[in-house]
Amino acid sequence: MALLPVTEALQRILDSAALLESEDVDLRHAFGRTLANSVAARVDNPPFDASAMDGYAVSSMDGATTPASFVVIGESGAGKPFADRLGKGQAARIFTGGAMPEGADSVVIQEDVLANGTTVTIREVVLRGANVRTRGQDFIKGEILLQQGRRLTARDVLLAASAGHATLPVIRKPVVAILSTGDELVEPGAPLRHGQIWASNSFGLAAMVEAAGGEARVLGIARDSHESLAAALNVSDGADILLTIGGASVGDHDLVRPALERAGARLDFYKIAMRPGKPLFFGSRVVAGVRQHCLGLPGNPVSAVISARVFLVPLIGWLLGREAPLATIDAVLTEPVEANGPRQHYMRAALDITHSPPRVTPFKSQDSGLITALQRADCLLVVAADSPRQPEGTVVDVLKLDI
């Protein structure tokens, strides 16, 4: 089978995936979720004319010529409105957030009055509407405040609450079951015997899944045997994506693809024209009537994280109905990049965002055995298959690694 170009592989993955259903969540759990419908205001904000300052509510007509004196006949505090109407020459003590009494259209701040018993005197002319937040000046009932497909920020949640919503319609989180495979793998923290390594990938990938808006379910470690793999695949029921790690190439111990096929999966492709990360497969199966996407990543941690960034993160975004699954940004090379071979290269690199456009410097060593270099990288510098040598100053695509 020929190596599949990255963009074509990604397109095939996205084409096979459909938007998930929506559900209502309460505001407390809405942060980071993706809106299934646009959100409209249920009320005007502010809901009533309110004072923006501590001071005195007056009619600007009464304060048109100065000095002007007012008799203070009551008080309007936040949550405790003044019940009566102000007559000519009358004022009400008012505090920030207090409702404007009938008969008043302006607030004179307390620093600008001379108080003497129940009388206050002002020297400056009162401007109509001064220090008043008028009803609906922020938003009005029915106005669309948040668009469908938006990933909710902390401020979005606050805005929705201030617009009268206690729950929000969001897309269900895609559940991603993560299975590490390999006879050499041991859970992090457990003692290592000679020849063993810790299964680090599951933990990094679970965090990537959650940051992308999915729900990660770590299934543990399957051994390189048909029995162990079959048993592990059985417990992935209910997951929208089954992510396997390792055993994806064609060695004697690479049994994941045959095990998946025995478990009912139809594999669309394996082997991508990318570096690192060539042995990667994708397909799907139907488990208990539900379609499950099967993505098989290479076991090498650097390859696993990079292929998850390139294929898994966009797939999760797609299932959630978000746009621009593989948004790269422009950056300027600080040094030349040599001509590339037939596989698209994702170089670990440093990104300097103090310049505009940002500057990118690929690391000296691109050895895919260096987990430290992956951890230090700010981004992946994308070098297209068969691209010629690119001199310093060339504008290139980079994919941010922001988690």
Which residues contribute to the site for Mg ion (CB under 5 A)?
182, 246-247, 299
Q: Given candidates 174, 214, 301, 362, which one binds ligand AMP under the rule CB under 6 A?
A: 301
Q: Which is nearer to ligand AMP, 254 or 397 (CB)?
A: 254
Q: Given candidates 213, 246, 317, 362, which one binds ligand AMP under the rule CB under 6 A?
A: 246
Q: Which is nearer to ligand AMP, 48 or 198 (CB)?
A: 198
CA-nearest of 202, 208, 206, 200 to 220 is 202
Q: Which is nearer to Mg ion, 134 or 225 (CB)?
A: 225
Does position 197 interact with ligand AMP (CB under 6 A)? The reply is: yes
Does position 300 interact with ligand AMP (CB under 6 A)? The reply is: yes
Does position 276 interact with ligand AMP (CB under 6 A)? The reply is: no
Q: Which does 292 bind (CB under 5 to 8 A by kind): Mg ion, ligand AMP, none?
A: none
Q: Which residue of this chain has its Cβ atom nearest to ligand AMP in the complex? A: 299
Q: Please, what is the minimum distance in Å from the beta carbon of residue 12 to Mg ion?
A: 25
Q: Given candidates 101, 276, 283, 299, which one binds ligand AMP under the rule CB under 6 A?
A: 299
Rg (CA), the chain: 31
Q: Given candidates 138, 183, 184, 210, which one binds ligand AMP under the rule CB under 6 A?
A: 184
| Selected range binding ligand AMP among 20-28, 245-253, 332-340, 359-367, rule: CB under 6 A | 245-253
| Selected range binding ligand AMP among 167-175, 192-200, 227-235, 333-341, rule: CB under 6 A | 192-200
- Contacts to ligand AMP from residues 164-183, by CB under 6 A: 180, 182
| Selected range binding ligand AMP among 6-14, 29-37, 197-205, 228-236, rule: CB under 6 A | 197-205
Place of tokens 């617009």: 163
Q: Which does 51 bind (CB under 5 to 8 A by kind): ligand AMP, Mg ion, none?
A: none
- CA distances (Å), 335 to each of 331, 339, 372, 381, 390, in order? 12, 13, 22, 12, 9
Give the distance, in angstroms, between the CA of residue 208 and the centroid of all CA atoms in the same chain. 11
Does position 247 interact with ligand AMP (CB under 6 A)? The reply is: yes
Residues that bind ligand AMP (CB under 6 A): 180, 182, 184-185, 197, 199-202, 245-249, 298-301
